[in-house]
Structure 1
């Protein structure tokens, strides 16, 4: 990460809107907002209530919660998708709360701590694409296309409440020694079962991802300990 230029380009929130061709509603249609946005920390019992003020989550069984309180995606990756898809992708198109610049989101280490505005955030897990995302994008075979690209963006949990706004610097305050990145975790949980053993050394990975890793490991069968090799930055 270039610490001299790492910053938030836009802060995006979504209100509840119908989701075409799927039925029901969703908050995935996130749009940039002006001025500061409050970032809520978990409630007194350590669960629920964290995230950006005004940001709606419809499917609370599969989205949101403390481990997925804030979603960040790099403008550089959106630019690459624009060139590939031949369409404009303004900040918030992928459902991200923070559209960043100068931040290697894919290379961020699980458990890495970011100071953004007056809030303190911790990288928790990669985004795994869902049907709502596919409907939102309207691209053929979008789930497979997005998965193959291995630039999933990062979910963050809130360690300290505060405020964020467009233009805020993104400052890395701590990086865990295990070194397992968002990109490596995403590959392990999707297309690279040989990398699953690496996730055992990541205590900051959410419980749901740990369960998914165990499920995939059982399905893949016994495997030798993985060597991250080039997959450390897929």
Structure 2
């Protein structure tokens, strides 16, 4: 079991979908742009005052909370040569000391007065490229596995920007977000054992389970 030392909230952010300009003359409706808040109620459906535009690929009970590690910001800023705004990736909670290599699917955390459970990796989409005007950043997030991750809410409650985060229960199967990213994005086709290890976690988000199983069925039938 990987010991997580002193996890913290760096930014707490929410935002409803809005029209956002990108490139020179294009516009998209997206919930990726979040604003900092001092306190907000977290419900089973997510933070009050937060929302997504693309309900097919975002949101839902298994994806109620989006978390992104603050440590990655320094790497992206160095790679792409410029500063990134807070909550650039549309995350609700930007954390310190909660990297993908240390956080496992099924882990349960106290987040302020709420209790959350990690369900899956975040699957980056092209909205990140458009929002940042960095055409390669989504590709790099997938390559590195620095995607962030999503959670369901087990107990509703208020969360403050200075709330503590505490690991309540580490999942016994110890399937990290980074490992699941490696399987999901890169090696499912030739690592059936690894894919089955991810699928063996009962707490895995349904959408990830269904997608991974579909891919495995295609591989077996080929």
1:154-190 deviation line (CA, Å, top 9, x unaligned) = 1011010011111222100001111111111111111
Poorly superposed stretches of 4+, deviation over 6 Å? none
Please give the alpha-carbon distance, in whole angstroms, between the structure 2 residues aligned to 1:145 and 1:105.
15
User: How far is the alpha carbon of 1:200 from its aligned partner?
Assistant: 2.4
User: How far is the alpha carbon of 1:56 from its aligned partner?
Assistant: 2.0
Contact 2:101 2:176 in 1 (8 A): yes
Which residue is equivalent to 2:31?
Answer: 27
Which residue is equivalent to 1:229?
Answer: none
Contact 1:106 1:152 in 2 (8 A): no
Contact 2:175 2:198 in 1 (8 A): yes
Secondary structure of the corresponding residue to residue 19 of structure 1: strand
Q: TM-score, normalised by structure 1?
A: 0.84
Q: TM-score, normalised by structure 2?
A: 0.88
Which residue is equivalent to 2:19?
Answer: 18
Which residue is equivalent to 1:65?
Answer: 60
Contact 1:106 1:151 in 2 (8 A): no
Judging by fraction of residues, say which structure has more strand: 2
Q: Residue 8 in 1 paired to residue 9 in 2? A: yes
Structure 2: which 5+ residue stretches go unaligned? none
Structure 1: which 5+ residue stretches go unaligned? 42-49, 223-234
Contact 1:119 1:162 in 2 (8 A): yes
Which residue is equivalent to 1:123?
Answer: 118
C-alpha distance 182-7 of structure 1, shift in aligned 2 (>3 A): same
Q: Residue 84 in 1 paired to residue 74 in 2? A: no
User: How far is the alpha carbon of 1:51 from its aligned partner?
Assistant: 0.5
1:56-100 deviation line (CA, Å, top 9, x unaligned) = 211112111111101111111122212222211232101110011
Q: Which moved more, 1:145-154 or 1:210-219?
A: 210-219
Q: Which moved more, 1:189-198 or 1:16-25?
A: 16-25
Q: Which moved more, 1:114-123 or 1:5-14?
A: 5-14
